[in-house]
Structure 1
Amino acid sequence: MSAETSRRDGPARLTLGVEEEFLLVDADGRLSRQGPVVAERTDSPDGELQQELTRCQVESATGVCLTVDEVAGQLGELRGRLARTAAGRQLRLLPVGCPVFAENRSPEITPNPRYQRAAAEFGATARVAATCGCHVHVAIPDKETGVRLSDHLRPWLPLLLTVTANSVFADGSDSGYCSWRYPLWSRWPSAGPPPVFGSVDHYESAVDTMLRSGAIIDRGMVYWDIRLSDDQPTLEFRIGDVAAQVDEAALLAVVVRGLVRTALEEISDGHPAPALSSEALRANLWRAARDGFTGRILHPKTGCLTPVADQWAETVELIKPALKEYGDDEFVERGFARLRENGGGARRQRAAFDRRRNLHDVVGLLAVDPAQE
Structure 2
Amino acid sequence: MSAAARPLLGVEEEFHVVDLTTRRAAPEAEVLLGELDGAEFARELQRSLVETNTPVCATLDELGGHLRRLRRKLESVAEPQGLGIVAAGTVPLVDLTGDDISAGARYEKMQHEYQMLVREQHICGAQVHVDVPDRDTAVQVVRRVAPSLPLLLALSASSPYWRGHDTGYASYRSMVWSRWPTAGPPAMVETGAEYDAMVDQLIASGTISDPGMLYFDIRPSAHVPTVELRVCDACTEVDDVVLIAGLFRALVCRARAGIDAGDPLPTQGQELIRAASWRAARSGLEGDLVDLTGPTLVSPPLLIGRLVQELRPWLEELGDWDTVVDLSQATLLRGSSAARQRRMFGRRGELVDVVDALIAGTQGRPLALDPPVEAPHTSALLVGYEPTGFDEAVSATGSLPEYGWLVRALDRLGPRGMTAARSALETEQRARGVTFGPDDGTGGRLFPLDLVPRIIDADDWQGLTGGLAQRVRALELFLRDVYGERAIVRDGIVPATVVENAPGRTRQGEIVPGDVVRIAVAGIDLVRDAPDHWLVLEDNLRVPSGIGYSIMSRRLIRSVMSDLEPPAGVVGLEDVPGRLRAALLSATDSGSPGADEVALLSAGPSDSAFFEHRLLADQMGVPVVTPRDLQVTDDGVFLVSEGGKRRLSALYRRMDEVELMTARGADMRPVGRQLAAAVSRGRVALLNALGNGVADDKLVYAYVPAMIRYYLDEEPLLDSVRTYPCVDAEARAEVLDRLGELVLKPVDGYGGQGIVIGPHAERSELTEVEKAIRTEPAAWVAQDLVALSTHPTFTGRRLEPRAVDLRAFVFQSQWHGSPHLDVVPAALSRVAPPGSLIVNSSRGGGAKDTWILR
1:14 aligns with 2:44: no
Is 1:83–1:369's contact at 8 Å kept on the other side of the alignment?
A: no
Pairwise CA distance, 1:166: 0.4
Q: Which amino acid letter does the alignment assign opposite residue 34 of structure 1?
A: E
Say whether 1:267 aligns with 2:259: yes
Cα pair 1:20 1:133 within 8 Å, conserved = yes
> In structure 2, what is the Cα distance between the partners aligned to 1:43 and 1:340?
36
Q: 1:372 to 1:334 in 2, by over 3 A?
A: closer
Q: How does 1:126-137 map to 2 (within 5 A)?
A: 126-137=118-129
AA aligned to 1:86 is A
Q: Deviations over 1:129-161 (max 9, x none)?
A: 111000000000000000000111111111110
Indicate conservation of the 8 Å contact 1:132/1:242, yes or no.
Answer: yes
What is aligned with 2:280?
288
| Cα offset, 1:99, TM superposition | 2.7
Alignment partner of 1:25 is 2:25: no
Counterpart Cα distance in 1 of 2:362 and 2:240: 19
Structure 2 CA distance for aligned equivalents of residues 101 and 230 of structure 1:
33
Question: Is there any run of 5+ residues in structure 2 with no aligned partner, and where?
Answer: 366-854
Report the Cα distance in structure 2 between the residues aligned to 1:280 and 1:307, rounded to whole angstroms: 18
How far apart, CA to CA, are the structure 1 residues paired with 2:298 and 2:324?
21
Map 1:140-159; keep pairs closer than 5 Å.
140-159=132-151
Query: Superposition pairs for residues 92-131 of structure 1, below 5 Å?
Result: 92-103=84-95, 105-106=97-98, 108-131=100-123
Whole-Å separation in 1 of the counterparts to 2:152 and 2:357: 23
Q: 2:95·2:163 contact (CA, 8 Å) conserved in 1?
A: yes
Equivalent of residue 35 in structure 1, options 5, 29, 33:
29
In the TM superposition, 1:27-66 aligns within 5 A as 27=20, 28-43=22-37, 48-66=40-58
Distance apart, 1:127 and its partner CA? 1.1
Larger Rg: 2
CA displacement at 1:225 relative to structure 2? 0.8
Counterpart of 2:684?
none
Give the Cα–Cα distance (whole angstroms) in 1 for the partners of residues 234 and 10 of structure 2.
Answer: 14
For 2:196, give the aligned amino acid: E
Contact 2:71 2:363 in 1 (8 A): no
Which structure features the higher share of helix residues?
Answer: 1
Determine the C-alpha separation between the residues in 2 that align with 1:285 and 1:369: 26
1:13 CA displacement: 1.4
Partner of 1:174: 166
Alignment of 1:341-360 (within 5 A): 341-360=333-352
Shift of 1:101: 1.5
User: What is the Cα deviation at residue 173 of structure 1?
Assistant: 1.0
1:78 Cα offset (Å): 0.4
* 1:138 partner SS: strand
Q: What's the secondary structure of 2:228's corresponding residue?
A: strand
CA contact (8 A) 2:236 2:361 kept: no
Structure 2 CA distance for aligned equivalents of residues 158 and 281 of structure 1: 7
**Given that residues 54 and 107 in structure 1 are in contact (C-alpha distance below 8 angstroms), is that contact kept between their aligned partners in structure 2?**
no
Distance 1:237 1:53 in 2: 19
Q: Does 1:307 align with 2:299?
A: yes
- Is contact 2:237-2:362 (8 Å) kept? no
Per the alignment, residue 326 of structure 2 pairs with 334
Distance 1:333 1:89 in 2: 39
Contact (CA 8 Å) 1:80, 1:369: kept in 2 or not? no
Does the residue aligned with 2:182 lie in a helix, a strand or coil?
A: coil
Distance 1:331-1:107 versus aligned 2 partners, 3 A rule: farther
1:168 & 1:239 partners in 2: Cα distance?
Answer: 16
Partner in structure 2 of residue 89 of structure 1: 81
CA contact (8 A) 1:79 1:368 kept: no
**CA separation in 2, counterparts of 1:253 and 1:370?**
17
Distance 1:338 1:13 in 2: 26
Decide which moves more: 272-281 or 54-63.
Answer: 272-281
Following the alignment from structure 2 to structure 1, what is the Cα–Cα distance between the partners of residues 260 and 242?
27
Distance 2:276 2:352 in 1: 32
The normalised TM-score by structure 2 is: 0.42
> What SS does the aligned partner of 1:32 have?
coil
Kept in 2, the 8 Å contact 1:81–1:370? The answer is no
1:13 match: secondary structure: coil
Q: SS of the counterpart of 1:235? A: strand
2:206 is the counterpart of 1:214: yes
Deviations 1:38-84 (A, max 9, x none): 1231247xx61000001000000101001011110000000110111
Identify the residue that residue 318 of structure 1 maps to in structure 2.
310
8 Å contact from structure 1 (residues 293, 339) kept in 2? no
Q: Is the 8 A contact 1:23 1:56 kept in 2?
A: yes
Contact residue 29 and residue 43 of structure 2 kept, 8 A? yes
Alignment match, 2:63: 71
What is the distance in 1 between the residues matched to 2:362 and 2:290? 40
Question: Contact between 2:185 and 2:270, CA under 8 Å: does it hold in 1?
Answer: yes
Query: For the residues of structure 1 that align with 2:328 and 2:364, how far apart are their CA atoms?
Result: 23
CA distance in 2, matches of 1:313, 1:204: 36
Q: Are 2:96 and 2:120, in contact at CA under 8 Å, matched by a contact in 1?
A: no
Amino acid corresponding to residue 319 of structure 2 in structure 1: G
Partners of 1:174 and 1:369 lie apart in 2 by: 20
Q: Which has the higher contact order (CA 8 A, sep 6+)?
A: 1
Per-residue CA distance 1:303-334 (angstroms, 9 max, x = gap): 11111211111110111111111221111111
Aligned counterparts of 2:164 and 2:69: Cα–Cα separation in 1: 30
Aligned to 1:3: none
What is the rounded CA distance, in whole Å, between the counterparts of 1:241 and 1:372 in structure 2?
17
- The residue identity in structure 2 corresponding to 1:123 is Q
TM-score (norm 1): 0.94
Q: Quick one: distance in 2 between partners of 1:351 and 1:368?
A: 15
Partners of 1:55 and 1:107 within 8 A in 2: no
Structure 2: distance between partners of 1:271 and 1:370: 41
For the 8 Å contact 2:237–2:361, the answer to whether it is kept is no
Q: Deviations over 1:325-365 (max 9, x none)?
A: 12211111111111221112111111111111110110011
1:8 Cα deviation from its structure 2 partner = 3.5
What is the one-letter code of the residue matched to 1:95? A
Alpha-carbon distance change, 194 to 110 in structure 1, aligned in 2, over 3 angstroms: same
> Does structure 1 retain, via aligned residues, the 8 Å contact 2:68–2:363?
no
Pair 259,175 (structure 1): closer, same or farther in 2 beyond 3 Å: same
For 2:346, the aligned partner's letter is D
Distance 1:356 1:23 in 2: 23
Q: Equivalents in 2 of 1:364, 1:371: separation in Å?
A: 11
Distance 2:226 2:104 in 1: 26
Which sits farther off after the overlay, 95-104 or 74-83? 95-104
| 1:175-254 map, 5 Å | 175-254=167-246
| Distance in 2 separating the partners of 1:195 and 1:324 | 31
Whole-angstrom distance in 2 between the partners of 1:146 and 1:43: 30
The answer to whether the 8 Å contact 1:190/1:210 transfers is: no
Q: Is this contact kept in 1: 2:272–2:292, CA < 8 A?
A: no
RMSD of the alignment, in Å? 1.8
SS at match of 2:250: helix
Identical columns (%)? 37
**Residues 80 and 370 of structure 1 are in contact (CA less than 8 Å); yes or no, is this contact kept in structure 2?**
no
In structure 2, the residue corresponding to 1:100 is in which secondary structure? coil
Q: Which amino acid aligns with 1:114?
A: R
